[in-house]
Chains A and B, each alone.
Chain A
Amino acid sequence: MSTAIEEAKRAGIDMSLVETSLRYSYDKRAEQHQAALELALELERIGRQLRGEAQPTD
């Protein structure tokens, strides 16, 4: 029978990252998320800049 972990892997979820996250405290998980979010937003900003699009004002 398929386990939830196997199903998650099949869906493309990297369980090694989940396992690392589960070893962290709540504070550390929130901090890691903040860092990932800032990176994503910065990459989006650079993408818009390269395409010559206006940056959001809010």
Chain B
Amino acid sequence: MVKLNQLIERLCDADVDFVIVGGFAGVLHGSTLVTRDLEVCTVLSSENIAKLRDTFRDLQPKHRFTTQKFSFLDNPEPGVALNNLYLETDLGPVDLLGTIKGVGEFEAVRAASIEVELFGRRCRVLSVDGLIRAKQAMGRDKDLIAVKELRAIQEAHAKP
């Protein structure tokens, strides 16, 4: 069961400052491209990791790129900070990233974001301009298609 909307609700309620990035940020800006995971930028301090562990506790969170699928509930040990986390949960995959290529670390990503109301909550989303920079920096074929769509969205917004 993949319920990215519910993952966002969980994160919004977790008292962790984050910015929605990646394909789902594109969706919120009007992109029609479907994404299978939720990507957010945040600071993965030991304190935030503890909050995220509580938030995802009942969702069987696992490190999805480990062959043994280590549980996020046990790894990393308390007090450890990380740069990135790639989790599989009962509500779908969620990537928690400390840096976004083409934009920078969390503070730069936050500065390049806008606040929106989503499901009755306030949350931050990387701006269209920031997303274009991030996707250009990634440079894969699928990112370059997304850039074309995002530029068209920018142009559509700019129309009188």
B69: which A residues are within 8 A, CB to CB? 58
Whether B31 lies near A11 (C-beta < 8 A) is no
B30 engages A22 (CB within 8 Å): yes
Task: Give A6-39 as 1s and 0s: 1 = Cβ < 8 Å from B's Cβ atoms.
Answer: 0110011111011101101011011101101110
Among B62, B148, B151, B157, the most chain A Cβ lie within 10 Å of the Cβ of: B148
Residue tally, chain B, CB below 8 Å to A: 32
Task: Render B1-18 as a binary contact track against A, CB cut-off 8 A, 1 for contact.
Answer: 011110010000000000
Q: Which B residues lie at the A interface, using CB under 8 A?
A: 2-5, 8, 24, 27-28, 30-32, 34-36, 62, 64, 69, 88, 116-119, 145, 148-149, 151-157
A–B pairs, 7, beta carbons within 8 Å? A13-B32, A15-B156, A18-B31, A18-B32, A18-B149, A29-B28, A30-B24
